[in-house]
Structure 1
Amino acid sequence: MTVAVLGATGATGRHVVSTALRRGYRVVAPVRRAGTFAPHEGLDEVSWPEVTDVPALTRALPGTSVVISALGGAGTGPTTVCTDGVRSAVTAMKAAGVDRLIALSAHGVLETHDKSLYSLAVWANVAERMRDKETMEPLITASGLDWTIVRPPKLADHDEIGKYRAGTDLRIRLWSSIGRADLAAFLLDEAETPRYAHAYPRISR
């Protein structure tokens, strides 16, 4: 399987890339600057200087089985990285004949933006990034692609545990979290064996 990873240089994206390579997949990594990754058999870096550069992304995607978006915005201040990147991805995928899109969003957006303690806390801390996810998701659901939108809670940096719970109705609590390595494994499991087509799975430890 050939996997294109958007946001490949980010904290979660790097886990997706490394896990995919360990599984023997070919990985296409659109990056802003060449030489971001050490040379590795099966890894193809391609130039994607700006997330709005549709032609560059279109050239990178032919032959790709699935696109996984692990795009994320800046920690503070307004950001549209996810929205702009996914808008480009939808157009590029259609032009390149790629149908499967798995996108990383966040629990607490749109209908999950409720009065739960988790939602209140995440919006109090990273509201701009959540707004970016909220404008990203409708672009995906209206795209006509075979999509899955994954909505994790807080992301943690620790080694892969190999155990997690996932489901569209999974209860997310204030203390819920998932490690980036386990999240990457879930994204690739979904790419390999789709279980949540046109759905919004949640995942937690």
Structure 2
Amino acid sequence: MRILIIGASKGIGLETTRQALAAGYDVRALARSATSINQSDAKLEKVQGNALNQQDVEAALTGIDVVIVTLGVGLGDLFKPVHLFSEATRVLIAAMKDKSVNRLICITGFGAGDSQASIAPLQRIPFKIVFGRAYDDKSRQEKLIKQSGLDWTIARPGVLLNGARTGRYKVLREPAEWRNGVIARANVADFLVKQIEDRSFIGASPVLVN
């Protein structure tokens, strides 16, 4: 299968690109800085483009079977209005329907959507102050995905750390289990790549923690 990874040039996106290639998938990596991806593989196609640009996204979807969205914002963006997640998702959903691509895997985070209610009381105020703008937009993003009619899976990792992929992490599917925690970016990527062919989490938005 051919995989499109949006936001592939750093962080979880770059690690997902590496792991998808290692698993034998053909990968098209879309990012504004795609040319900076320090990875050479015959199965990797680097595409410089903007996730907010309809033409860029439609072109990137040609011949694609599965889309993985790993967009992120910098620390400096957390204190300004954030619209990237919802606006890029709105563009993507329209393009996926136009191109008849149905499988969407997207990373948001613990605290987005209905998982916000599971934030511990003492964490809610600092979380809102620091991450509120970004997570309000991630919540809008999740709503768009859930209303899209696509075969979607939303992954909500806890606090992200660097570190090796271990494969040892918890996938908390039920709301009663949801809690914050830490998880390595490489383990988040491990979950995302597994969802390319695992259909058991379609229509689910689990929390990922160690």
**Once superposed, what is the RMSD of the aligned Cα atoms?**
1.7
**Separation of aligned partners in 1, 2:101 and 2:2:** 11
Q: What count of residue pairs does the alignment treat as equivalent?
A: 202
Deviation at 1:104, TM superposition (A): 0.5
Do residues 55 (structure 1) and 62 (structure 2) align? no
**Separation of aligned partners in 2, 1:155 and 1:34:** 22
TM-superposition CA deviations, 1:156-181 (whole Å, max 9, x none) = 111112211113123314xx111100
Q: 1:74 to 1:162 in 2, by over 3 A?
A: same
Structure 1 partner of 2:209? 204
**Separation of aligned partners in 2, 1:139 and 1:74:** 23
Do residues 188 (structure 1) and 193 (structure 2) align? yes
The structure 1 residue matched to 2:87, chosen from 84, 88, 98, is 84
Structure 2 partner of 1:109? 112
SS in 1 for 2:196: helix
SS in 1 for 2:195: helix
TM-score, normalised via structure 2 length? 0.89
The structure 2 residue matched to 1:127, chosen from 112, 123, 132, is 132
Misfit runs of 4+, over 3 Å: none
Unpaired runs of 5+ in structure 1? none
**Separation of aligned partners in 2, 1:32 and 1:187:** 21
Do residues 162 (structure 1) and 163 (structure 2) align? no
Unpaired runs of 5+ in structure 2? none
Do residues 93 (structure 1) and 96 (structure 2) align? yes
Instruction: Determine what percentage of the aligned residue pairs are the same residue.
Output: 29
- Matched-pair contact (CA < 8 Å) for 1:73–1:80: no
**Separation of aligned partners in 2, 1:118 and 1:203:** 21
TM-score, normalised via structure 1 length? 0.91
Structure 2 partner of 1:44? 45
- Matched-pair contact (CA < 8 Å) for 2:64–2:101: yes
Deviation at 1:119, TM superposition (A): 5.3
SS in 2 for 1:195: coil
Aligned partner letter, 1:47: Q
